[in-house]
Amino acid sequence: MSPRTPETRPSYWRLGLPILWMAAIFYLSGEAFSHWHTSRFIIPLLHSLWPHLTPRELAQIHNLVRKLAHFLEYLGLSYLWYWSLLPQLHRSLRLSSVSFSLSLGYACLDEAHQSLLLSRTGSPWDVLIDGAGAFAIQLILYLRGQRGVPPPGSSAEGPAKDLEPLESGIP
């Protein structure tokens, strides 16, 4: 077993960021951010931007905004897991799989939590949307890796270390 170097040792603050994001998701999945509560400020905002829209159209846009929020919340969570686990797992299919799985697992727990609240309902469709966001960022990160783009969170010295300028004799 090889000793852990500073590069492979877990960084607790890096692991703390996705956990903080999960806490934010947990808060957002509570009573205060139910469909009814968010409609009280999103629909008037939408109406002020587009006064010609019917109440039904405003409600549809409100639903779209909520679903987009699901997608983006879990895109962000999956990205944070990728970034936080990168020093231990390095850029790999395993890293993407673990990041996606942690995010999807939390999406399931989040919907279970919502199903226990009076003003919320748990929905498998929301888990699907959450999973799509988590998968989308992993696909983007994978494709960037195929193009040779450095992973997020890698030090600026890393790949560039091999590209040190030649000695030109100029001070």
- 119-151: pLDDT as tens digits: 778 889 999 999 999 999 999 998 888 777 777
Total domains, the chain: 1
Asked if residue 113 belongs to a domain, the reply is yes
Asked if residue 73 belongs to a domain, the reply is yes
Asked if residue 163 belongs to a domain, the reply is no
Asked if residue 122 belongs to a domain, the reply is yes
Question: CA dist 36 to 2, 12, 97, 119, 170, Å?
Answer: 54, 38, 35, 8, 68
Q: Which domain holds residue 19?
A: 12-31+64-148
On whether the pTM is more than 0.75, the answer is yes
Say how far apart CA 44 and CA 50 lie, in whole Å.
Answer: 10
Asked if residue 169 belongs to a domain, the reply is no
Predicted confidence (pLDDT) per residue in 65-117, tens digit: 989 999 999 999 999 999 999 888 888 889 999 999 999 999 999 999 988 98
Asked if residue 81 belongs to a domain, the reply is yes
- 83 membership: H or E segment, kind and range: helix 55-89
Asked if residue 42 belongs to a domain, the reply is no
- What pLDDT sits at residue 170? 47
Tell me which DSSP letter residue 122 carries: -
Contacts 24+ apart (CB under 8 A), 158-163: none
